[in-house]
Structure 1
């Protein structure tokens, strides 16, 4: 069993003992998402820690998108609930990179692609840059933010 799932189970026990309903339901939902991912496909498998991180990252993203939709629909109480769940799930993910750190990684990879091509990359080479940046930020940065930074760097 991977470390994230173990931590989630320990956190569930603590939330049950503390009668923390929000934390309890959020952790149960995260465990259910991981369990669903484990049995998805033709054969059941145990997820690696990286795969568990990907599941939790996806769940955090869903919560943030929902909060944004609720805010746009003038439902601040529901948006607040979604953001609270996202914050709880984010505790189980690695430290997120700041936008400045993401920009530095993008700049490094743009320079590396430029060295490989022998010329400054254009928007046509955005895929090459994203392919180089993505493994470096997996689980620690938002793909939408990185894509925007790459577009800005490529002009």
Structure 2
């Protein structure tokens, strides 16, 4: 089942269950997906692929994490809780992220595989990580690990 079909099926279930918060988040996801599809039309793409949808979902989660931090700074716990609930719904559609040990192992493997020896080779290592583990690896966490591995 494609992600688009999952969104629709989950929307129907949440509407039947009367879960307005989940329904609202799913509607937001579907609206963002429609915007993404429209943005891809000039490239000759009618509907974006699942990989692009996953990237879109990761962006939505990232922006919500930033909002949570700002709401906490502004002493607005009710708004932070709402954003965290949205994060939980969105993350349910994302593949499981690698834990720290698996991320460190993937970085070490990529360094060996690419033959990287200095910080100048960081781009090659990151490209290798992205090619192999794009769905399950948080590149923002992998970057500093790669830098540390190549620096010393």
Specify if TM > 0.5: yes
Q: Give the alignment's Cα RMSD to 1 decimal.
A: 1.6
Alpha-carbon offset, residue 71 of structure 1: 1.9
Q: Which residue of the partner structure matches residue 48 of structure 1? A: 49
Provide the aligned length of Structure 1 versus Structure 2. Answer: 149
Q: Output the TM-score relative to the length of structure 1.
A: 0.88
Contact kept in structure 2, 1:126 and 1:150, CA below 8 Å? yes
Rounded Cα–Cα distance in structure 2 between residues aligned with 1:104 and 1:126: 16
How far apart are 1:132 and its partner, in Å? 0.8
How far did residue 44 of structure 1 move?
Answer: 5.5
Counterpart-to-counterpart distance in 1, 2:70 and 2:135: 23
Preserved CA contact (<8 Å) 1:15 1:21: yes
Q: TM-score, normalised by structure 2?
A: 0.90
- Structure 1 spans left out of the alignment, 5+ residues: 115-119
2:94 is equivalent to residue 93 of structure 1 = yes
Q: Determine if the alignment matches structure 1 residue 32 to structure 2 residue 31.
A: yes
Instruction: Show the counterpart of 2:81.
Output: 80
Cα separation, partners in 2 of 1:150 and 1:12, compared to 1, 3 Å: same
Matched residue, 1:153: 149
Distance 1:129 1:44, change over 3 A: closer
The 3-state SS of whatever aligns with 2:106 is helix
Instruction: Give the number of the structure with larger relative contact order, counting CA–CA contacts within 8 Å between residues 6 or more apart.
Output: 1
